[in-house]
C-alpha cells in the first residue's frame, strides 16, 4: 500500500511539473482577451492599413516594408500581452547575441521625427482596430498601457 501511495505521489508530481512546463506564462489574460495569435493577427491586419490611410501619420510609413512591420507588430503585441511569442525584429535585448542589426525602439524610430500628436494618432488607430474586433475595453487598455512607456523613446520632435 505504501509503495502504491508513493507511486501515485510521484505520478502527481511528474504530471504537475509537466503542466507547469507547458504553461510558462502566469498571466496571459491580455493575450487571451485579444483572441490569441489569431485575434492579434486580425487586429494588426486592420491596424496597418489604418496607419497607411491616416493623414496624420501615413507619410511616415511611405518608405518602409509594411509586410515586415505587420509581422513584427504581431510578435511584439503578442509578447507584450503575455503570449507565447518573442519579438524577432530590430528591437532586441542588448544582452542577446543578435543576428544582424541590434537596435532598440528608440533607434528604430529616431530618424522619423515623431511628435506626441503622431504617437497619439497611432494609439487611437490601434484602439479603433481593437474595438472593431470586439476586444473588451479593459483588455485594450492593458495593451495600450504596455505600449505607453515607449512614448519617451519614440517621440523625438
The residue ranges that bind ligand HEM (CB under 6 A) are 57, 60-61, 64, 68-69, 72-73, 76, 89-91, 108-109, 112, 114, 118-119, 122, 147, 150, 154
How close are the terminal C-alpha atoms of the chain, in Å?
A: 74
- Identity of the residue, 33 or 74, whose beta carbon is nearer to ligand HEM in the bound complex: 74
Q: For residues 102 and 91, give the distance between their C-alpha atoms in angstroms, rounded to a whole number.
A: 7
- Identity of the residue, 31 or 119, whose beta carbon is nearer to ligand HEM in the bound complex: 119
Nearest distance in Å: CB 27, ligand HEM:
20
Q: For residues 82 and 26, give the distance between their C-alpha atoms in angstroms, rounded to a whole number.
A: 8
Nearest distance in Å: CB 141, ligand HEM:
14
Say if CB 43 and CB 135 are below 8 A apart.
yes
Which residue is closest to ligand HEM by CB? 89
SS3 state of residue 31: helix
Amino acid at each position: 500500500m505504501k509503495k502504491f501511495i508513493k507511486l501515485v505521489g510521484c505520478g502527481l508530481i511528474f504530471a504537475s511539473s509537466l503542466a507547469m512546463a507547458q504553461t510558462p506564462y502566469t498571466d496571459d489574460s491580455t493575450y487571451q482577451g485579444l483572441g490569441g495569435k489569431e485575434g492579434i493577427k486580425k487586429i494588426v491586419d486592420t491596424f496597418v492599413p489604418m496607419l497607411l490611410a491616416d493623414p496624420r501619420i501615413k507619410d511616415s510609413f511611405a518608405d518602409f516594408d509594411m509586410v515586415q512591420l505587420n509581422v513584427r507588430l504581431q510578435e511584439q503585441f503578442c509578447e507584450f500581452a503575455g503570449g507565447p511569442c518573442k519579438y524577432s525584429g530590430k528591437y532586441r535585448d542588448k544582452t542577446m547575441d543578435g543576428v544582424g542589426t541590434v537596435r532598440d525602439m528608440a533607434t528604430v524610430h529616431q530618424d522619423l521625427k515623431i511628435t506626441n500628436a503622431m504617437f497619439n494618432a497611432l494609439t487611437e488607430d490601434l484602439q479603433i482596430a481593437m474595438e472593431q474586433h470586439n476586444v473588451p475595453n479593459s483588455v485594450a487598455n492593458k495593451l495600450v498601457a504596455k505600449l505607453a512607456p515607449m512614448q519617451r523613446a519614440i517621440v523625438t520632435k
